[in-house]
Amino acid sequence: MITIGKNAPRIGKVPSVVLINPKYPRNVGTIQRTCSCFDISQLWWTGKRVTLNPEKGERLPREERMRGYKDVTLLNYDKPLEQFPRGTTPVAIEVRPNCETLPTFVHPENPVYVFGPEDGSIPKQILRLCHRFVIVPTKHCLNLAMTVNVVLYDRMVKLGESFDISTVEDRAWKIPEDNVNKVDGLEIT
């Protein structure tokens, strides 16, 4: 059992993702999967619209409960930014005037990425705590889970992070060695 509160020790780890009052458990589950893929160890959310009380039969959708995602701690707490150490940079991903665009954004060293709800915006009291503001420029709006995925992928690419694919359990997607420089059986030189 994790104790979170004003008098408890801060437990926030960076980098991390914070969802403000998400509406759908499926999005929380998909974002947990995304966090696991991009080595983010904590997923926080606020509000009571998504609850995961096993005693009441509440849980994430089946496809989002794979054991591989257990490396991401799920935390529901209404003041998550209080839980992070000094030196953390809260980054609001939000459609608002004068935001940095994701293609030109330089990810901070100790980020906490804050995302608003599917049907609203990040409240002003949370925005006041954020140091950076970023927009993902697209032709149409992205859903919450897709936006988190795009931001975390962008972070990985820009920081030059890579993962040892030899540790991946499911290797079915790997290209066979003898097919590396071939397209439709034709060799590329």
The pLDDT tens digits of the residues spanning 82-95 come to 999 999 999 999 99
User: Domain limits of the chain?
Assistant: 16-187
Phi-psi region of 21 (alpha: psi -120 to 50; beta: other; left: phi over 0): left
Does the structure show a pLDDT above 50 at 159?
yes
pLDDT of residue 52: 75
Task: Report, at the CATH architecture level, how domain 16-187 is classified.
Answer: 3-Layer(aba) Sandwich (3.40)
Give the tens place of pLDDT for each residue, 87-123.
999 999 999 889 999 999 999 999 999 999 999 999 9
Which pTM value belongs to this model? 0.82
Q: Write the DSSP string, 14-34.
A: SSEEEESS-S-HHHHHHHHHH
Burial class (CB in 10 A: 0-12, 13-18, 19+), 135: middle
Around Cβ 124, how many Cβ atoms within 10 Å?
7
pLDDT of residue 109: 95
Dihedral (CA of 115, 1, 8, 72) sign: negative
Token representation of residue 167: 């540790």
Nearest to 18 by CA among 82, 70, 69, 107: 82
Give the tens place of pLDDT for each residue, 35-78.
999 999 999 999 999 887 666 666 665 555 566 667 899 999 99
- Mean pLDDT across the chain, nearest whole number? 84
φ, ψ of residue 83 to 5 degrees: the values are -90, 0
